[in-house]
């Protein structure tokens, strides 16, 4: 089979995909914040370690204190950052949560250990918070979510995907499924 028969005009050019601007840059992932990250890295490592080892600290980083409702819209929690569109001033919350999650992956021997720990952190109920969103763990709940209307975005497992750097913006898994 020759190379010409493998080409399709509808697929586009890989160079165009790789050189295209990123579609979904959140404010807290801006390149201009990189020097600030390195400047604050000693503090972030300490805060991240606290979130790695202590469930109460991890839950505060993720969703804040349950005693005041404004935490849902604040910039100092991961949930607040996500609900506000992850602006640049929520970078500290995003970095702190990312370091705590990475530390958890390392000390708990992978994703399943981290997911079980996070599920336990939030009371072993039907729902728990992970990365940028809410998760469930029962088969029936997963099926119900998959069959319902979903407002999807370019993300995998509640974490923003690098589009178009690694993934095409028109992938089926990124498209909404109106009920």
Q: Calculate what percentage of the chain has a pLDDT beyond 90.
A: 26
Q: How much of the chain is helix, strand and coil, in % rounded to 5?
A: 55, 10, 35
Give the chain's mean pLDDT. 80
pLDDT of 66: 55
Q: How far apart are CA 98 and CA 104, in angstroms?
A: 10
* Contact partners, residue 62, CB within 8 Å, separation at least 6: 77, 78, 79, 97, 129
Q: Quick one: pLDDT at residue 162?
A: 61
Predicted local confidence at residue 105, as pLDDT: 92
Is residue 48 predicted with pLDDT exceeding 90? yes
The mean pLDDT of 94-122, rounded to a whole number, is 91
Question: Which of 96, 126, 127, 130 minimizes the C-alpha distance to 113?
Answer: 130
What does the pLDDT read at residue 76?
82
pTM over 0.85: no
Give, as one character, the DSSP assignment of residue 110.
S
Q: Work out whether the CA dihedral 133, 70, 119, 111 comes out positive or negative.
A: positive
DSSP SS3 for 150: strand
Question: In the numeric block, which tokens belong to residue 78?
Answer: 């991961």
Q: Indicate the range of 80-89, 120-129, 142-151, 160-169 predicted with least confidence.
A: 160-169
Give the single-character DSSP code of 172.
Answer: G
Three-state DSSP class for residue 135? strand
pLDDT for residue 173: 65
């Amino acid at each position: 089979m020759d190379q010409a028969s493998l080409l399709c005009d509808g697929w586009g050019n890989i160079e165009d995909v790789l050189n295209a601007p990123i579609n979904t840059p959140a404010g807290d992932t801006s390149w201009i914040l990189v020097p600030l990250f390195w400047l604050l890295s000693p503090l972030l490592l300490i805060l991240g370690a606290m979130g790695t080892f202590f469930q109460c600290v991890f839950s505060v980083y993720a969703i804040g204190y349950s005693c005041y409702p404004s935490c849902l819209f604040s910039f100092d929690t991961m949930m607040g950052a996500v609900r506000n569109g992850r602006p640049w001033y929520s970078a500290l919350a995003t970095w702190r949560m990312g370091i705590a999650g990475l530390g958890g992956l390392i000390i708990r021997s992978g994703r399943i250990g981290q997911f079980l720990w996070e599920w336990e952190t939030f009371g072993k109920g039907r729902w728990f918070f992970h990365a940028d969103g809410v998760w469930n763990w029962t088969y029936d709940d997963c099926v119900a979510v998959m069959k319902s209307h979903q407002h999807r975005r370019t993300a995998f497992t509640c974490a923003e995907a690098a589009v178009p750097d690694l993934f095409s913006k028109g992938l089926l898994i990124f498209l909404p499924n109106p009920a």
